[in-house]
Chain A
């Protein structure tokens, strides 16, 4: 079929200005092509675009029959299930606004979003989510109806406001049969300026804010991204990232509907890696920690492999590191390396990519945090086109996209299609203007005005610099960039990222603003350090026990000293070297409010909670007693006492970078 490509400003040549209009188009022009798959009872079930459009129509009819009107909000909470994506389409087709909520939110977090967004209708995936909603329902007077999609365990729930999605869809089919023009009229009434979704940002400070994106924002941004990366109806993705994250809505819903490719939903959160292998997606998006985990798993398993396999693996990985990236980027490579690489592909890279489910992968993005150069290079060396993306919810996902030909691990690439970027001279903050610029924060004029200037520029809150090649390099959150008492620039995240690139360090929090030197809290990675301890015959009972071992402190010190050496070679960052550190007795956790749901460090919370530990780092003590209240996964609380050691690390005198 011949597809007209989008106009240069991202608008649709056929005038389709809302995503449900693209769905209606697919229902006709891609009727029998697969739109969605979900693994159920061990078998991949699929739905064509024609079927998906039918489900969305039924669901929309059902919602309308229940009283859902233009402008109403539909809260959606659950794992990546086809019905939940259909519900997004159904709400939008009626001119309503989906408000996805993170499925691992505790009831109070859900309450804030539902209350703030003035939600009347909620869709919960299963009993677990329904129970959470029921526990807060008496504090949500506006919430009228709760729908659920999985009936398991719901037999004894007889509240009249609880409705099974299947029943609602049946009623919807009847409603549509009785009002045959209803759906198409509602669809036609939608326009590009309507709000398509409200995404609540996890926010590293304070309460989450509801980012309103219009259909125009989403359609234009998606069209530009689709053209940029040549995404077609033949692509396949695995939808496994939280629905509430703007990126999942953008890729698994908007791009999928516009480009017409197939979205695969995993069987359960635990089976993602197996499902990845079975599906073999061509387009894949993952935060750095997923690539990190994959690499760690591969490396740990190689340690356990036979000597021959291990030597073969390391030899060919060496070849790949030397030649792989250049081959991928079409640069000149020596003939011997080219031949060795082909052999390596047969013996190592091919089978490895197959195990990882990356055989068919032609486009992979990572974003959210900086990715370690070793990890990044490893996957690119295997011939996987892994690229970085930089953006935020307010910009409709992306600002910078790396081009296939010029990919670097330490920058996020040049501004993406349709994006204007500039850096504020005084603060170093990155500002942008683009078709994806959000409409505003829901019910928060003040915050909107603070972020969006009258002439359309938006503050990212990130500090960055442009390299000579015109690529953007992000240093830190603008507000986190501080000064040491000596006057030198202090960029904690820059240092933390360098630390986190070591497999044994899971999280790091660096302090130093208005101090005379930098110090750090470290979280070790239980998987990596645990397996290292096992191999070296170090016995331990728990995370906190392992974290306190002197051998582990030595290992972490080596990592920190290497980072310090690295920082010393960069004159602007040399003052940020970490002089003293301690290994925390517990892992920083989103449930304790120390990390956001997307695993970003909440600096202020940590500084408040662990104030005494920070003082100890600066006081010259070599140990400090801690007593902490901890919350177990089951909700019980306990008190934990430990004596944390504080260790010093070598720092280096700044020198000019060699070479």
Chain B
């Protein structure tokens, strides 16, 4: 495989001493870690460890009470999700958030929204610049469809698709934004073995072909250990491990967290 030759670059995103609480519930406590360019970073941890909250902080959906997030050298406390998106952060969701009544192609096209310039009026008239723009974006989306091997469902409303394919469409929509950082929230939950293998291959291909940095949350340890360059472990909102998969496998705190030792 190509993993050995992969060049991991500089720090892309740095999380410093993040704390997040909802009323009296502390979701995240004093968390720091880095995501480097071109790497596949997995965030793991038992249920309720704060993994999804962490992703929500990174893409600006939650605003941590303490700490800073530095993305491409610029530190920030508060950011709106659409700002994160325009800066090249795209994500998928744990409970698929697609437009159920729209086709696969249209869903993926929505991922291009931030790149489209045509206004309401020119889009309504369509001829001219709006048409040209549409063709360029459609071609881009068709490349994603080809890449994800979903040609057969191009025009099917996503609500009619099985779960595994919907996950793939959601990945396609995230890719349409040409992200430099891709956040995947449990991309393989509820999939059978074959679907998981396909998804692993797509994640590695995205990482390899487009050089996209990937930060994913996943419960399947086999998958995590296979495809990640580095793993961050959370438990009860605290970071208890950070390292390459081999280190994490041998980390006592991690083993305890998963096997349920008394806290």
Contacts and interface: CB of A to CB of B under 8 A. Distances in A.
Nearest to B5: A156
Interface in A92-125: none
A181 interface: no
A274 B2 CA distance: 36
Interface in B93-135: 105
Contacts of A42: 105, 138, 142, 145, 151, 154
B152 A274 contact: yes
A633 interface: yes
Contact of B151 (A155, A267, A633): A267
Contacts of A138: none
A41 B143 contact: yes
A571 interface: no
Nearest to A636: B193
B38 to A, nearest CB: 14
Contacts of A41: 139, 142-143, 145-146
Contacts of B143: 41
A152 B197 CA distance: 18
Contact of A271 (B2, B138, B152, B209): B152
A270 interface: yes
A268 B149 contact: yes
A14 B151 CA distance: 44
A156 B2 contact: yes
A39 B142 CA distance: 11
Interface in A38-77: 39-43
Contact of B194 (A153, A155, A267, A634): A634
B151 A153 contact: no
B141 to A, nearest CB: 9
Contacts of A632: 193
A374 B185 CA distance: 51
Interface in B203-219: 205, 208-209
**Chain B contact residues: over half helix, strand or loop, or mixed?**
helix
How many interface residues does chain A have, given as a range? Answer: 10 to 19
A633 B152 CA distance: 21
Contacts of A268: 149, 151-152
Contacts of B149: 268
A472 B143 CA distance: 51
Interface in B1-30: 2, 5
B142 A270 contact: no
B193 A634 contact: yes
Contacts of A43: 142
A270 B154 CA distance: 11
Nearest to A39: B151
A476 to B, nearest CB: 37
Contacts of B208: 155-156
A461 B147 CA distance: 46
Nearest to A266: B151
Contacts of B105: 42
B1 to A, nearest CB: 8
Q: Which has the most chain A C-beta neighbours within 10 Å: B146, B151, B154, B193?
A: B151
A419 B138 CA distance: 53
Interface in A625-650: 632-634
A156 B1 CA distance: 8
Interface in A149-191: 152-153, 155-156
Interface string B179-223: 000000000000001100100000001001100000000000000
A272 to B, nearest CB: 9
Q: Which has the most chain A C-beta neighbours within 10 Å: B105, B147, B149, B152?
A: B152
A270 B156 CA distance: 13
Contacts of A40: 146
A271 B5 CA distance: 36
A379 B139 CA distance: 38
B152 A634 contact: no
B196 to A, nearest CB: 10
B174 to A, nearest CB: 20
Contacts of A152: 147, 209
Contacts of A155: 2, 208-209
Contacts of B139: 41
A270 B5 contact: no
Given A41-B139, A156-B2, A633 B194 contact: yes
A41 B138 CA distance: 9
Contacts of B142: 41-43
Contacts of A634: 193-194, 197
Contacts of B2: 155-156
Contacts of B5: 156
Contacts of A153: 205, 209
A43 B151 CA distance: 11
Nearest to A157: B2
A416 to B, nearest CB: 36
A270 B193 contact: no
B172 to A, nearest CB: 14
16 contacts: A40-B146, A41-B142, A41-B145, A42-B138, A42-B145, A42-B151, A152-B147, A155-B2, A155-B208, A155-B209, A267-B151, A268-B151, A268-B152, A270-B151, A270-B152, A274-B152
Interface of B: 2, 5, 105, 138-139, 142-143, 145-147, 149, 151-152, 154, 193-194, 197, 205, 208-209
Given A153-B205, A155-B208, A268-B151, 15 more contacts: A39-B151, A41-B139, A41-B145, A42-B142, A42-B145, A42-B154, A152-B147, A152-B209, A155-B2, A156-B5, A267-B151, A268-B152, A270-B151, A634-B194, A634-B197
Interface of A: 39-43, 152-153, 155-156, 267-268, 270-271, 274, 632-634
